[in-house]
Chain A
Amino acid sequence: GAGVSQSPSNKVTEKGKDVELRCDPISGHTALYWYRQRLGQGLEFLIYFQGNSAPDKSGLPSDRFSAERTGESVSTLTIQRTQQEDSAVYLCASSLGATQPGELFFGEGSRLTVL
Chain B
Amino acid sequence: GEDVEQSLFLSVREGDSSVINCTYTDSSSTYLYWYKQEPGAGLQLLTYIFSNMDMKQDQRLTVLLNKKDKHLSLRIADTQTGDSAIYFCAESLSGYSTLTFGKGTMLLVSP
**Residues of chain A having any CB pair with chain B under 8 Å:** 3-4, 31, 33, 35, 40-43, 45, 48, 50, 56, 59, 91, 93, 95, 97-98, 100-109
Contacts and interface: CB of A to CB of B under 8 A. Distances in A.
Contacts of A4: 42
Given A101-B48, A102-B33, A102-B92, A42 B103 contact: yes
Contact of B43 (A45, A95, A106): A106
16 contacts: A4-B42, A31-B96, A42-B88, A42-B103, A43-B43, A43-B88, A43-B99, A45-B99, A48-B98, A95-B96, A100-B95, A101-B96, A102-B92, A103-B45, A104-B99, A108-B40
For chain A, what secondary structure do more than half of its interface residues adopt (helix, strand, loop), or is it mixed?
loop
Contacts of A56: 98
A85 to B, nearest CB: 17
Which residue, B33, B90, B99, has most C-beta atoms of chain A within 10 A?
A: B99
Given A98-B95, A100-B95, A42 B102 contact: yes
Interface in B85-100: 88, 90, 92, 95-96, 98-100
A102 B40 contact: no
A89 to B, nearest CB: 10
Contacts of B42: 3-4, 91, 93, 105-109
A101 B44 contact: no
A108 to B, nearest CB: 5
